[in-house]
């Protein structure tokens, strides 16, 4: 955990290995050490450039670095608040992170206990293979992501704007999603196509 603001307390307790937890069975995907954070500062960018794998739980204090290909957008602004008749929150049904939802490819009411306060804007068509969950407005425009992966330098970054940090251990959806984010980020299955070099 890299938590300079002390905002990930609940997530840290849920994400920590449980005592007596058994090691991976033969044939399971390889597991790698990952850093869990809610910031994208120089420390995190340096780790990514050196080949680290990072799970960033995006919140209202997450500031993306200059030149970053996406922006953090509060959903209560810029028409992302869901008051259009054709707003759709979706999940990729084959996503190893969130495809387990029984309502996939729709998020439906699964996330109602945590809310969806932020999205990542700037999602162009070439980024779509790396988006695990997102939303669109109206006639398939203003695409945005809730969960997206990317290469950063020689490292890998998994971003999630669904607020699992505060609800993990209380809300079943948030708890399962946090575990799935960690499992996926630590596995060899996470192979982003798109990248960004700081």
Instruction: Convert the pLDDT of each residue in 67-109 to its tens digit.
Output: 999 999 887 776 666 666 567 888 998 999 999 988 888 888 8
Q: Could you tell me the CATH number of the domain that includes residue 101?
A: 3.40.50
Residue 2 within any structural domain of the chain: no
Give the single-character DSSP code of 157: E
| Range with lowest mean pLDDT among 79-83, 133-137, 190-194 | 79-83
Dist CA 197 CA 69 (whole Å):
10
Residue 4 within any structural domain of the chain: no
Residue 45 within any structural domain of the chain: yes
Dist CA 175 CA 167 (whole Å):
7
Predicted model pTM: 0.87
Provide the pLDDT for residue 140.
Answer: 59
Domain assignment of residue 67, given as a range: 9-14+32-193
Provide the pLDDT for residue 26.
Answer: 40
Quick: pLDDT tens for 147-157.
999 999 999 99
Dist CA 135 CA 139 (whole Å):
12
> How many domains does the chain contain in total?
1
Dist CA 9 CA 61 (whole Å):
15
């Amino acid at each position: 955990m890299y938590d300079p603001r002390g905002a990930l307390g609940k997530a840290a307790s849920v994400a920590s290995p449980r005592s007596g937890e058994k090691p991976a069975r033969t044939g399971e995907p390889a597991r790698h050490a990952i850093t869990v954070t809610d910031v994208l500062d120089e420390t995190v960018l340096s780790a990514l450039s050196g080949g680290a794998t990072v799970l960033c739980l995006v919140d209202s204090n997450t500031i993306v670095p200059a030149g970053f290909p996406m922006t953090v957008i509060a959903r209560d602004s810029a028409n992302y608040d869901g008051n259009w008749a054709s707003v759709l929150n979706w999940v990729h049904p084959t996503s190893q992170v969130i495809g387990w939802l029984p309502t996939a490819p729709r998020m439906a009411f699964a996330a109602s206990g945590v809310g969806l306060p932020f999205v990542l804007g700037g999602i162009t068509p070439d980024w779509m293979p790396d988006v695990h969950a997102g939303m669109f407005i109206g006639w398939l425009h203003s695409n945005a992501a809730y969960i997206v992966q990317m290469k950063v330098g020689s490292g890998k970054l998994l971003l999630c704007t669904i607020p699992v940090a505060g609800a993990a251990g209380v809300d079943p959806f948030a708890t399962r999603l946090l575990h799935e984010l960690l499992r996926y980020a630590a596995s060899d299955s996470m192979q982003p196509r798109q990248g960004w070099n700081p």
